[in-house]
């Protein structure tokens, strides 16, 4: 048996907000409570929105709360070869096909009535049945091709530590985008496997993607990690946190006089692990942590609380 290993995998496309920080804290506490190792992986697949400045700022904000990775920070953008290797393996088994559809075509085809209920954003399979002649015509028209998994409507059940058993249908998920960049669902599966991650803690907005990812793990012969999807932080309007919700980053909270220790207390209190006026360290919170007591609904944030 290898070490217990968890991770936090932010996209360095902006400053971490309270929702990201709270998820990172839960991931870190779970690892600390199991004496495991905690990694940070930068999911910088998109070269246009990711930046090194955001990356450094995110690491500083995590460190200010006492969340420091036990190993080098890995960037997905430096691992494309590894991702492509996994796609080649699936391709060798006839499980990959080229898809020339635009987003608009997919949207239109998915809204047409079809038999089976499909997961969110599921691909209706338009390019599955293209002939070799169709494919070369599309390619010579200059249409770039994405690569998709040839799924067979498999249903996959995942046991989540927070959400319980979640079942979903696997669609023809994108493996490589039409700009040649590995797609999120593929990259996350390959990297978690190669990094020896045994526990994935992340926001529950990704719960519906988990059956797809578990299916990819099974096809590639990888072990499935334990999953825990943490309820999001939302504003009083019930929407995900954005700038319009006021002070939601460490810097903005610092401007209101809430330092990193104060943010830790606030997050700990939102998880039922400390009082709102208690000085705590992340390690002290970890001693009190258990998934059994993790709140099952979103935390509603209002910056009038600070």
Where in the sequence numbering do the catalytic residues fall? 243
Interface residue with ligand GLU, options 4, 5, 6, 9 (CB under 6 A)? 9
- Which of 17, 127 has the CB closer to ligand GLU? 17
Shortest Å distance, C-beta 9 to ligand GLU: 4
Query: Per rule CB under 6 A, is residue 10 in the interface with ligand GLU?
Result: yes
- Cβ proximity of 42 and 75 under 8 Å: yes
Interface residue with ligand GLU, options 138, 156, 188, 230 (CB under 6 A)? 188
Query: Per rule CB under 6 A, is residue 54 in the interface with ligand GLU?
Result: no
Task: Give the single-character DSSP code of 40.
Answer: E
Shortest Å distance, C-beta 45 to ligand GLU: 9
Q: Which residues pair with 159 in a beta bridge?
A: 165
- Cβ proximity of 259 and 66 under 8 Å: no
What's the rounded Cα separation, in Å, for the pair 41 and 272?
A: 27
Interface residue with ligand GLU, options 22, 79, 84, 202 (CB under 6 A)? 202
Write the interaction track for ligand GLU spanning residues 272-291; mark x where CB under 6 A is met and - where it is not.
--------------------
CA angle 133, 136, 138 (to 5 degrees): 110
Shortest Å distance, C-beta 137 to ligand GLU: 36
Write the interaction track for ligand GLU spanning residues 13-52; mark x where CB under 6 A is met and - where it is not.
------------------------------x---------
4-12, 88-96, 160-168, 270-278 -> range binding ligand GLU (CB under 6 A):
4-12
DSSP reduced 3-state for 240: strand
Which of 48, 58, 46 is CA-nearest to residue 14? 58
Task: Give the single-character DSSP code of 225.
Answer: P
- Which of 134, 205 has the CB closer to ligand GLU? 205
Shortest Å distance, C-beta 146 to ligand GLU: 19
Hey, what are 268's tokens?
């700990």
- Cβ proximity of 271 and 294 under 8 Å: yes
Number of residues that bind ligand GLU (CB under 6 A): 7
What's the rounded Cα separation, in Å, for the pair 241 and 243?
A: 7
Shortest Å distance, C-beta 76 to ligand GLU: 9
CA angle 97, 89, 214 (to 5 degrees): 85
- Which of 40, 145 has the CB closer to ligand GLU? 40
5-13, 133-141, 238-246, 272-280 -> range binding ligand GLU (CB under 6 A):
5-13
Query: Per rule CB under 6 A, is residue 163 in the interface with ligand GLU?
Result: no
Which of 170, 171, 150, 142 is CA-nearest to residue 98? 150
Query: What is the torsion angle, in degrees rounded to the nearest 10, for the CA atoms of residue 127, residue 11, residue 44 and residue 180?
Result: 10
DSSP reduced 3-state for 247: coil
User: Binding residues for ligand GLU, per CB under 6 A?
Assistant: 9-11, 43, 188, 202, 206
């Amino acid at each position: 048996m290898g070490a217990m290993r968890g991770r936090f995998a932010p996209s360095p496309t902006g400053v971490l907000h309270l929702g990201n920080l709270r998820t990172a804290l839960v991931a870190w506490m779970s690892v600390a409570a199991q004496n495991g190792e905690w990694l940070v992986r930068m999911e910088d697949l998109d070269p246009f929105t990711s930046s090194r400045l955001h990356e450094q700022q995110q690491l500083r904000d995590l460190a200010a709360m006492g969340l420091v990775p036990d190993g080098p920070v890995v960037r997905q953008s430096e691992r494309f070869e590894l991702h492509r290797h996994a796609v080649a393996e699936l391709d060798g088994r006839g499980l990959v096909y080229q898809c020339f559809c635009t987003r608009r075509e997919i949207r239109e085809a998915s809204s047409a009535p079809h038999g089976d209920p499909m997961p969110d954003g599921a691909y209706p399979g338009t390019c599955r049945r293209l002939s070799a002649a169709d494919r070369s015509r599309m390619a010579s028209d200059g249409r770039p091709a994405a690569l998709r998994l040839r799924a067979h409507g498999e249903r996959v059940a995942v046991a989540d530590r927070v959400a319980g058993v979640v079942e979903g249908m696997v669609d023809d998920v994108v493996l490589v985008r039409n700009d040649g960049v590995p797609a999120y669902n593929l990259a996350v599966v390959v990297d978690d496997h190669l990094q020896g991650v045994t526990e994935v803690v992340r926001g529950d907005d990704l719960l519906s993607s988990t059956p797809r990812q578990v299916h990819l793990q099974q096809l590639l012969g990888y072990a499935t990690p334990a999953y825990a999807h943490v309820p999001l932080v939302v504003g009083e309007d019930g929407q995900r946190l954005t700038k319009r919700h006021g002070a939601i980053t460490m810097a903005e909270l610092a401007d209101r006089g809430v330092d990193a220790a104060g943010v830790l207390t606030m997050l700990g209190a939102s998880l039922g692990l400390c009082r709102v006026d208690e000085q705590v360290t992340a390690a002290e919170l970890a001693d009190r942590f258990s998934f059994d007591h993790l709140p099952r609904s979103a935390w509603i944030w209002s910056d009038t609380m600070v």
